[in-house]
Amino acid sequence: MVQKPAAATTQSARKSRQVEILRRAAEVFRGRGFHRASMEEIAERLGMTKGNLYYYFPGKQDLLFFCQQEALARLTEQAQAIVAGRGSASEKLERLITAHLVCVLVELGGSLAHAEFEELPALQRRRIVAQRDRYEQYFRDLIHTGVQNGEFAPGDEKLRALAILGALNWTVKWHRPQGGESATTIAHSFADLLVNGMRATPAARKRATS
């Protein structure tokens, strides 16, 4: 059996603990709002001392930056696999929308920190914006492909991508895990609504393929 180096194991364990903290912090953010939530409240929710919490995140902005990086890393990895897989542009876009919502609402606990990147310091914000732009491009490329092959009606690809991402990211503001529909049900409903809204008419599809 190949054993992982101790440093790699420690790093993996630290990241797992950080993700766990993020998920529990999301509960505080939903109840208090990101700006009003304090590190003390997050530590109390986790049953940790403030000193222990500060070991993982020296401040709330560090927690915010980690949330942004972790979310974008997971979303981008999913997007790469979906785009490289089988299916039409509309099918891939539906899967991309579903994967996005499940990641944000389930894997990351619906953390409001995912939507608060404007609060980051300038350098960190620029890094996150660059990562967001690269992720957005997957949506734009699929929409472009769908327009070219007649699946989608012609339209501004960037505007459509931003509208989709805006709708998806806003769910963290209102979704409550304890009540209403599940994140997966919401994801499928969003995928159906957002993709179908771009579909071309039969006549337009015929012109695109003729």
Tally of residues, the chain: 210
Which letter, b or e, does each residue of 29-41 get, where b requires 16 or more Cβ atoms within 10 Å of its Cβ? bbeeebeebebeb
* pLDDT class of 210 with cuts at 50, 70, 90: low
Of 26, 90, 30, 20, whose CA–CA distance to 56 is shortest? 20
In contact, 102 and 184? CB cutoff 8 Å = yes
Within a domain: residue 141? yes
Q: Are 96 and 195 in contact (CB under 8 A)?
A: no
Q: Could you tell me if 107 and 184 are in contact, meaning their C-beta atoms sit under 8 angstroms apart?
A: no
pLDDT of 5: 47
Q: Which domain, by its residues, includes 91? A: 62-209
Number of domains into which the chain is organized:
1
d(CA 90, CA 104): 21
**What is the arithmetic mean of pLDDT over 153-163?**
95
Weakest-pLDDT range from 57-71, 103-117, 158-172: 103-117
Distance CA 123, CA 140 (A): 26
The percent of residues above 70 in pLDDT, for the chain, comes to 90
Q: How far apart are CA 137 and CA 143, in angstroms?
A: 10
Q: Indicate whether 46 belongs to any domain.
A: no
pLDDT class of 56 with cuts at 50, 70, 90: very high
State which amino acid sits at residue 114: H
Q: What is the DSSP string of 127-138?
A: HHHHHHHHHHHH
Q: Specify the CATH number for the domain of residue 140.
A: 1.10.357.10
Residue 11 lies in a domain: no
Report if residue 19 sits inside a domain.
no
| pLDDT, tens only, 62-94 | 888 888 888 899 999 999 999 999 999 999 999
Place of tokens 């039409």: 88
Position 183 in a domain: yes
What pTM value is reported for the model? 0.83
Within-domain flag for 89? yes
Distance (Å, whole) CA 196 – CA 71: 26
Cβ–Cβ under 8 Å, residues 49 and 43: yes
In a domain, 57, yes or no: no
Q: Is residue 26 part of a domain?
A: no
Mean pLDDT of the chain: 86
pLDDT, tens digit (0-9, with 9 covering 90-100), for 120-156: 889 998 999 999 999 999 999 999 999 999 999 999 9
